[in-house]
Amino acid sequence: MKNFNAMPKVLIYIVKKIMWVFLFYNTDFNENRAHVHVGKKGTAELCKIWLEPTVEVDKKGDLNESQLKEILGLVELYREQLMAQWKLFKEGKQVKTIKIKK
């Protein structure tokens, strides 16, 4: 299980009783292509989604097809905000957590 506290959270999306956490790994600083990792409490292997040039899955992680479809929709919906967070992260600035509850 990943330690969510050791990584900058960029988006927390709560729907029903599920809390999806979108974050960057600290080692992502060395990668040039913008992406985000996604999981929920209890997730052993996070999903990795590229944000550019288009939104696409790099690694499915522990997500099933239904969850993956939901996450891709959320990434598309919040892509602009995630890209802004990526830019702050790459500039060494503080990332702010966006919290959304549906």
pLDDT averaged over consecutive 10-residue blocks of the chain (102 residues)?
61 91 85 92 88 95 94 96 93 90 89
**Residue 25, pLDDT score:** 87
SS3 (DSSP) at 98: strand
pTM for the structure as a whole = 0.88
Distance CA 70, CA 76 (A): 10
Q: SS3 of 54, please?
A: coil
pLDDT value, residue 5? 44
Cα–chain center distance at 18: 15
